[in-house]
Amino acid sequence: MGGTDLTVVFLLIYSLSHSLRRVILANNRFQGNIPENLSLNPGISYLDLSNNLFKGNIPLKLGAWNNLSMLDLSNNSFDGYIPSELGSLDNLQKLRISSNMLTGPIPSALGNCTKLLSLDLSLNSLSGKIPLEIVRLEKLQNLVLSGNKLTGKIPDSFTSTQSLLELQLGDNILEGQIPVTLGNLQYIYLALNLSNNKLTGEIPATFSNLCKLQVLDLSRNSLSGQIPLALSSMISLSFVNVSFNQLSGNLPANWIKLVAQLPNSFQGNPNLIINNEIEKKHRSKSTWRIPLVTIACILSLIGGALLASRYLAARKAHKLSAVSRISKRGFDSTGGLPEDLTYEDILRVTEDLSDKYVIGRGRNGTVYKTEFGKGKCWALKKFNLYESSFFLEMKIMSFVRHRNLVRMAGYCCRDGFRMIIYEYMAGGTWWNTV
């Protein structure tokens, strides 16, 4: 429904207020402001306005819709502050206002929503500290605050009675040490993302309690010291990234198997020993009594290898410099793109990912339809979230087999974008949920 004015829409909602329970206006092109004179509407429990063109402030009177259990305003252009009045929604279970232009602090009044299960305020310009009142919500399962301008320390008040399954705090300006109480989150398994902040100190040994955690991203901070070897107990990890810190010493035993799968997840730590076996051999050789001639030969070989590696590195750097806007975050790769596609092909045929190719939007990203070669159509999913979420979906979709789903055909990581390529399914709507 392109360019529809909201006044008519909300007049209809008012007229049905006594019988209406669920309002879903998602994935349209509604535009303009939500009327400020919203009437009390005790009936509606589910309001989804996501993926539209709404703008302006979030109406304060939404805080009077006491029966709301789900409110989704994500992927719009709302600005201004998050109303503290939303803290009056006693029955609220899911609140999603991600991918807007909101500023100001996160209202501590949201801590009054004691039934809250999921809170996603990511990809805005929110500032200030993370309210303790939110962290202490015992029923909260998903806390996603990534991609804001939050400052201060991560609250050190996580307890074993909490239900958090996912904690996303990446891409903020958080500082200080990682709280040891994060190790109390016995149920967390989806993701723990603290990447791209200003965190210092060591990785807490209490992380050894996070046996169910699948995704851990601590990259691009200023963490130091050794990675506790006790973290070998994190047996469920399928993705870990500690790159670009100041870590040293050996990797935990079960992390070593991830080196081959995720080689860039450990780079940028000059004193981190990536291959324990090679290091052990090196130490044992140091005790041998080697003749001086042998030492000289070894030194010559090492010198030659260093010169060769420097030459190859210079050639590689020269080659990379010719490619514009190479991503400086995470890994850059194009994994098995279908039919010899290139990253440049993708940008060309989608006109730099123009909105006119968009066929769906979801919580995690935007899906584009495009055509390559001899009429072959593909669906390209560009992620809104971060490397950890992208990798987890990529791993899952690369193995999925179901008659109602299409398999992943390839992926591309460049210029800060994370994209997965699927075969286009005519008439299909499954990507609206991904």
Indicate the pLDDT class of residue 72, thresholds 50, 70 and 90.
very high
Structure tokens at 392: 């987890």
Q: Which residues contact 71 (CB under 8 A, 6 or more apart)?
A: 47, 62, 86, 89, 92, 94, 95, 96
Which among 197, 169, 196, 172 has a CA at the least distance from the CA of 182? 169
CB atoms within 10 A of CB 290: 11
- Label each residue of 181-244 as H, E or C: HHHHCCCCCCEEECCCCEEEECCCHHHHHCCCCCEEECCCCEEEEECCHHHHHCCCCCEEECCC
C-alpha dihedral, 423 to 424 to 427 to 430, nearest 10°: 60
Q: What gap in Å lies between CA 383 and CA 386, rounded to an integer?
A: 7
Lowest-confidence segment of 2-11, 48-57, 362-371, 412-421 by average pLDDT: 2-11
- Whether 426 shows a pLDDT value over 70: the answer reads no
Q: What gap in Å lies between CA 111 and CA 270, rounded to an integer?
A: 42
What pLDDT does residue 94 have?
Answer: 97
Lowest-confidence segment of 92-101, 217-226, 361-370, 398-407 by average pLDDT: 398-407
Q: What is the CATH number of domain 1-116?
A: 3.80.10.10
Higher pLDDT among residues 312 and 333, named by residue: 333
**Whole-structure pTM value:** 0.69
- Whether 334 shows a pLDDT value over 90: the answer reads no
- Mode of pairing for the β-strands spanning 365-372 and 358-361: antiparallel
CA 368 centroid distance within chain? 20
What pLDDT does residue 308 have?
Answer: 39
- Whether 59 shows a pLDDT value over 70: the answer reads yes
Structure tokens at 70: 């789900």
Amino acid identity for residue 185 in this structure: L
- Whether 287 shows a pLDDT value over 50: the answer reads no
Segment 158-181 shows an average pLDDT of 93
Q: Each residue of 357-390: pLDDT tens digit?
A: 888 766 567 888 887 766 677 788 877 655 555 6
What pLDDT does residue 184 have?
Answer: 93
Structure tokens at 343: 């990253």
Segment 408-419 shows an average pLDDT of 68
Lowest-confidence segment of 61-75, 96-110, 354-368 by average pLDDT: 354-368
The single residue listed with the structure tokens 């320390």 is 153
What pLDDT does residue 143 have?
Answer: 96
CB atoms within 10 A of CB 213: 25
The secondary structure element, H or E, covering residue 149 is strand 149-150
Lowest-confidence segment of 96-100, 239-243, 402-406 by average pLDDT: 402-406
- Whether 140 shows a pLDDT value over 70: the answer reads yes
Segment 161-185 shows an average pLDDT of 95
Say if CB 34 and CB 61 are below 8 A apart: no
Give percent of the chain with pLDDT exceeding 70. 68
- Mode of pairing for the β-strands spanning 376-383 and 365-372: antiparallel
Segment 139-164 shows an average pLDDT of 93
State the chain's maximal CA–CA distance in angstroms. Answer: 95
The single residue listed with the structure tokens 């390839």 is 410
Segment 199-228 shows an average pLDDT of 96
Q: What gap in Å lies between CA 23 and CA 80, rounded to an integer?
A: 24
Segment 297-326 shows an average pLDDT of 39
What pLDDT does residue 156 have?
Answer: 92
Q: Which CATH class is domain 333-433?
A: alpha beta
> Cα–Cα distances in Å, from 36 out to 59, 64, 112, 162, 277?
5, 13, 24, 36, 66
Structure tokens at 413: 């990581």
Higher pLDDT among residues 41 and 320, named by residue: 41
Q: Which residues contact 150 (CB under 8 A, 6 or more apart)?
A: 106, 126, 127, 128, 129, 130, 169, 172, 173, 174
Question: Would you tell me which CATH number, out of the four given (3.90.190.20, 3.30.70.20, 3.30.70.2860, 3.80.10.10), belongs to the domain 151-286?
Answer: 3.80.10.10
Higher pLDDT among residues 359 and 125, named by residue: 125
Say if CB 261 and CB 238 are below 8 A apart: no
Quickly list DSSP for 306-351. HHHHHHHHHHHHHHHHTSTT---SS--EEES-GGG--HHHHHHHTT
CB atoms within 10 A of CB 160: 11
Structure tokens at 372: 């390559």
| SS3 category, 384 | coil
Indicate the pLDDT class of residue 425, thresholds 50, 70 and 90.
low
Amino acid identity for residue 22 in this structure: R
Q: What does pLDDT average to over the chain?
A: 78
Q: Tell whether 328 is in a known binding site.
A: no
